[in-house]
A and B are shown apart, each in its own frame.
Chain A
Amino acid sequence: MRDVIVVGAGGGGPVVAKELAAAGLDVLLLEAGAHHTDPRASWTHYENDANNPLTGFLRFGPSDRSKPAWLREEPQNSYVLQVAGVGGTTQHYYGNSPRAFRGLFAGYEGPDRDAYDTEHAFPFPYEELVPYYEWVEATLPVQTAAMGTKEAVFFRGAEQLGIPVQTTKDTLHASYRPQENAILQPGGTAGRTTDPARLHYPQATGCTYCGFCLQGCMEPIRAPRNQFAKRSTDNSYVPMALTAAAWSPQGRNATLIPDAFVVKVHTELRDGETVATGVTWRDGRTGERHREDARVVVLAGGATETPRLWLNSGLPNPNGWVGRGYTDHFLDGVTGLFDEDTGSSKGPSSAARCDFPGRGALEGLGLPPAMQAFIMALSDSGIRGRYANGRGMRGPWDGRSGRVLGPELKDALGNGVNRLLNILILTGDDVQRRNRVLLSAFPPDEHGAVPKVVLDGRARTRRTVGNREFLARKATELLRRAGARRVYRFDWAPLLLHVHSSMRMGRSAADSVLDSDAESRWVRRLYVADNSALANSLGGPNPTLTTQALATRTAEKIFIEHFGGRPWVRDGNPVVSTDPRISRALR
């Protein structure tokens, strides 16, 4: 019998594991995918090898790459771009760590309150989350991003949008700024040389500007795992959880089992209540099934897998909201072609942003060529100049929105992958009941019925659509003012990178799965600590930091409620994840 079992070692699960291991609990962390313990021995920086969603080492599939990826049914033009393995999708994330917009929390009374999806607000005020934000920001740590050429070009455009620069963590109004990134600032020779011989730790520390955030971070060369520049959880929270005894006075090292796909959550009736008692997982290497029990179970498999596991376990769903309310920032992309070097494929992949509270956000998006081609070939507006699929929006960009393919794609990329600038559009999108995860009628795989992700890009609320159009215009204006001579807008089909709120917490028991402590409304001792627990899409800001802050709060709630502990965040001092005691304990 464990104290706590955490299902999933992605962006959120390791946060709960680390906090509770630091508090001295016996924590088991289960991860369906691989544990890449020595990235230099098994990774490359090549895009197909890393990012091919079917075959790459950063895919959603088993650790044995000779086996197919895991199936999701998507009954529309869309792509769920999730990553399995220790670190989860943070392995390929950009480390962007903005706080949420305040208008998406209970009690917000700002003059722009009608601009937000207040019907689906968080069940507590923004101010309550701030200490947890500060705790996570100090732990990862989150730091102001340094600039490269592409940021200089981005800011040249942003400075002409008539909005101020933001110099706080909290976003209060429309503004632009360098990203607050979970990436260590460059030190020593990092960012100042291309010579690999001079990019060894500790001569180089932090971000070396390699440009491979999307391929997983293993820089600088020979750095201890917890000193790699990007603070994906495999480099930050997981090492902390596994070494808690080394840096926390009462700490107890958590146990991590990779290749452990949880297929069932067990419950029993206790005093008339359904209570979680443990889980069964399938070992991906042997096919064997194992069961362990725990006092508390925390689900953190992501916004698609957590509802799937819930439904496959036959857990209660009395209001039908399990899997519903799936939000995705209705992402879109805009690309400008320049006649100058933009350094698009170099440096931390996203280091500059604009925020428009009530609308969403824009951020720079640096990419190497294959992913650049991928994002230009993704659209719900057909193929530019050929067909528009009933869409093909017109605006300040050149021509209609749509895929750039064939000769046009070759000409655009022939202009130079480092002579373009991408802007990612993060739409503040509304929670909608119809967007959801359910169980597919396709044949089940070895883990049970597979998830079916239903997300109709054409049936968004008027506010969501309006926000996206506003942002696409702002992004185009930024690019033009920065000097772009041609601007493409793609009108992406749903690219499911930022996914949230499919097991949402909420004020109303009628349209939420979790209460305000992130505990399930219908199964006691069962919590959710991934993006699916978020009440909404935060209004557009990237979700990982808020999920991690919320997971920290959830860990504290669990410790107080079930283990008689005391809170630690308000009065404690967080240990930074780069602490040398962790490095030593990892050896």
Chain B
Amino acid sequence: MDSDNRNRQIGRRGFLAAAGAGASALAGLTAGTARAATPDPAITEVQDWARSLGDGVAVRPYGNPSSFEKHVVRRDVEWLTASRESSVSFTPLHDLDGIITPSGLCFERHHSGIAEIDPQKHRLMVHGMVERQMVYTMSDLKRFPGRANRVYFLECAANSGMEWRGAQLNGCQFTHGMIHNVMYTGLPLKTLLDHCGVRTAGKWLLAEGGDASLMTRSIPLDKAMRDCMVAWAMNGEALRPEQGYPLRLLVPGWEGNMWIKWLRRIEIGDQPWHQREETSKYTDLLADGRARRFTWIMDAKSVVTTPSPQAPLAGKGPQVLSGLAWSGRGAIKRVDVTFDGGRNWRQARIDGPSLPLSLTRFYAEFDWAGEELLIQSRAIDDTGYVQPTKEELRQVRGVNSIYHNNGIQTWLVRGDGQAENVEIS
């Protein structure tokens, strides 16, 4: 027996004796506290990581999550689209906490795959109804005064779009995962537009990406001047390629498709261009066969991320319900939660910053005796908008609109703690 093992055995015997003596004396004080029948080897045995040396510095020059977190990844739903180059992957909301989405887990939506752009060869052109038609390099952009840091959510207009006709996908990653929330660094778009001198007749802006879909959207000039940005960084580092490296447009509070990635061109004009993504797509077909267009703002919405189908309850007793709320019209003022399918509600506890046009984190601590739960959350923003039920939305929009489904989500939690996506009366 080597000295390590001998020490461990002595240690274990000593612990057993102490635990036996202490148990009776403390019994009265610890009613309700769980007790182990046998000592926990995670404590009594010396673990490998507590004995031998681990990797040194710079062995992992760009750090990755623990190997025990390999399941925390973006996922896709194969049947949604014809090819992965024009498809979507979903943020694993059920595995995340706080309000900032890690850069590598931000959902992706590409129309012709990820453009891998050499920043030395990237150019931003601003032209059309301006006094000075200009070309900027990335280096030019980083020399402008007025650099800004802002936290914004980006939600795809089609987030929850699969749920219009009823509960379909099991997991908030799939029902609500076309959203992310990061801190961006960049320039107010107004700085660039002023640098070029927008002419009086200029009322609209066309933003274009440099990928193989040359993604384009028309944006009204007043929005562009109010709070749009061109950003080159997210969460303190350069944008990820799948998020538009080296430059993307931010259109805070508005549907994600407008946040042009790989931004290479801005044209100023006097009318919208009626591009594919604002006519055949991203228009909201109503029950009467007509369609709403230019539905840019993302209305207030929320979802409980724990418990949820991918994050079941582990056992009876104290629980922490957790979730996210957001609004494209302002800040979240309040979130209510229900455990009985909307018979009774209580106010959730918001923790962390509740910034306008950003995700807001909420919690509701509760005790669970194993009864069936019907859990929902309801967001209220500072314009007084109250998140509607899915049925209320269907009454005004029908079930064909695909986009802008911000209805209240229901999770059924069964006695075994497993959760399922359901719809209730």
Q: Do A and B bind each other?
A: no
